[in-house]
Amino acid sequence: MAAGVPASIGRINAANAEDALFLKVFGSEVIAAYEQASVTEGADMVRSISSGKSATFPVIGRTAAAYHVPGAEIVGTDINHNERVITINDLLVSSAFLSNFEEAKNHYDLRSIYSTELGRALAFQKDKHILQTIGLASLGGAGATGLDAGTTVTNTGIASSTAATAANAVIQALFDAASALDSHYVPKEGRKAFIRLEEYYKLANATNAVNVDFTQGNGGIDSGKVMRIAGIELVPTPHFVSSNVTAFPAKGSATQGGSAPQTVNLSNYVCLVTGTGAGASVGTVKLMDLAVESEYDIRRQGTLMAAKYAMGHGIVRAESAIGIKEA
């Protein structure tokens, strides 16, 4: 009797590696977890490069208008230009090794859990870098002559032990941030506020933030959500950076930005506001977008799973960034 022919469920057109298709499942799980976990997705201006270590972002100033004198020649008005050069960080890797023996003893699916955690680890690190860069932008100078610098709003009422007082102070600070963005001609559409959880939930419990009589479904105590304040979308951020990031880690370290860390003192910060799209304060350069690899190692009797990317972040428009502090 002839031997049975097993279905090639992991091979492409019954050829190539036995697990060629299985890796794609793992890869899609990592990418999905990355996208779901990242709170800063879409908050930056992104450029992809195929080689090299950096990319430039043009910064163009404003022009002026003047009344014409009859008969006078119109010769044009100079417009200030500058550029921001953003360099990529080291290759960031999140990996896990899964022993065949340990997996066989286990009674639940480890690979799905591991792939989720790999995606989350990369997403959280990217978020921290972007938040640190928004903080740098809020402290930064104008990108070109005639443009505005970043802004810091300090409201000591945010530190009040009375929740209502603290919430009102956050609301006032967000209106101050909106006013600053308006004065800097930052587009109203797409503004985001990455806010510490403590302040976010005080706002969700504040009657003047979620009152159904005049906030038009802006959230409520039942959902624990508040959508917008002063036209700015609120993004609760569990991994908000509120510390003094000063250390340069060793080459290859995954902490604080690899070889080009976004060092900044964000102590006492509770919220970082930025424009997005054309009004983004942060630029991102991607050399290697999120990618996943998986390989069985016969010598170690297990599978190594790895997710990685190579990108860097820098200031593009300082005038689009507002830092909110409690002290």
pLDDT digits (tens, 9 = 90+) for 212-243: 555 566 666 656 678 889 999 999 998 888 88
pLDDT for the residue numbered 255 = 43
Among 60-74, 105-119, 149-163, which range has the highest average pLDDT? 149-163
Question: How many C-beta atoms lie closer than 10 Å to residue 47's C-beta?
Answer: 14
The CA distance from 114 to 111, in Å, is 5
Nearest of 156, 160, 165 to residue 203 by alpha carbon? 165
CATH number, residue 131: 3.90.1690
The CA distance from 149 to 136, in Å, is 11
The CA distance from 179 to 308, in Å, is 39
**Does residue 69 form part of some domain?**
no
**Does residue 76 form part of some domain?**
no
pLDDT in tens, 73-122: 998 888 888 888 888 888 889 888 888 888 777 777 777 888 888 888 88
pTM, whole model, 2 decimals? Answer: 0.81
**Does residue 293 form part of some domain?**
yes
**Does residue 4 form part of some domain?**
no
Q: In which element (H, E) is residue 21 found? A: helix 20-37
Mean pLDDT, rounded, for 233-257: 69
**Does residue 210 form part of some domain?**
yes
Please, are residues 175 and 162 in contact by the beta-carbon 8 Å criterion?
no
Domain that includes residue 119, residue range: 20-60+85-325
The distance in angstroms from the start CA to the end CA of the chain is 82
**Does residue 48 form part of some domain?**
yes
The percent of residues above 70 in pLDDT, for the chain, comes to 80
Q: What is the mean pLDDT of the chain?
A: 82
pLDDT for the residue numbered 92 = 87
When divided into structural domains, the chain yields a total of 1
**Does residue 49 form part of some domain?**
yes
